[in-house]
């Protein structure tokens, strides 16, 4: 793996392993949720038959499968992102000394955001299942808003950590001009 012209390797710490294991368990739960949901809509039970005597219409059960598919596509893209070469950042000074540290922090952010996206998808799948049962549920979820807030806080925190060991390019230029 590379960042610009610098070679980096995939480091695993206990935290990174935990985050990736948790993400994998959540993906398995999402797949099982989608499988169960599709099975319930294709072969409805008594409750669904009492609501939909002629069978569940497609416009009612299809949104429940779209979100898990989007979540799985996002997970695949975020895993592929780990292995593709990355360009040097425009705003940070990355050298051979701090390229590995920069890469590790970017991968932590990737894992955290992956988990938060899966949590938000999980919450919206609950809302869509309520939609299937004609329960009026708000499309604005407090959990999804909290996931966005925690994701933004994680990105800001990791960006501030990167700023410690890889100063901003404008700050480096400013320091060079004053000398």
pLDDT of 178 reads: 55
pTM of the model: 0.75
Q: Where are the domains of the chain?
A: 11-178
Question: Which segments of the chain have a pLDDT < 70?
Answer: 170-179
Q: Return d(Cα 179, Cα 150) in angstroms, integer.
A: 40
pLDDT of 153 reads: 92
φ/ψ of 2, rounded to 5, equals -135, 150
Which stretches does DSSP call E strand in the chain? 2-3, 6-7
């Amino acid at each position: 793996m590379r960042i610009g012209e610098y070679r980096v390797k995939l480091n695993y710490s206990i935290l990174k392993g935990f985050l990736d294991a948790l993400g994998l368990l959540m993906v398995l739960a999402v797949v099982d949720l989608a499988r169960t949901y599709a099975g319930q809509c294709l072969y409805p039970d008594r409750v669904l038959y009492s609501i939909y005597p002629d069978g569940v219409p497609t416009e009612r059960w299809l949104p429940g499968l779209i979100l898990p598919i989007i979540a799985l596509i996002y997970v695949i893209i975020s895993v592929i992102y780990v292995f593709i070469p990355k360009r040097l950042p425009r705003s940070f000074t990355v050298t051979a000394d701090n390229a590995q540290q920069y890469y590790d922090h970017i991968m932590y952010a990737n894992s955290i955001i992956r988990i938060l996206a899966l949590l938000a998808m999980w919450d919206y799948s609950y809302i869509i299942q309520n939609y299937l049962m004609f329960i009026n549920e708000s499309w604005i979820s407090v959990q999804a808003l909290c996931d966005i807030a925690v994701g933004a806080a994680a990105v800001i925190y990791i960006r501030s950590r990167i700023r410690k060991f890889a100063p901003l390019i404008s700050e480096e230029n400013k320091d060079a001009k004053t000398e």
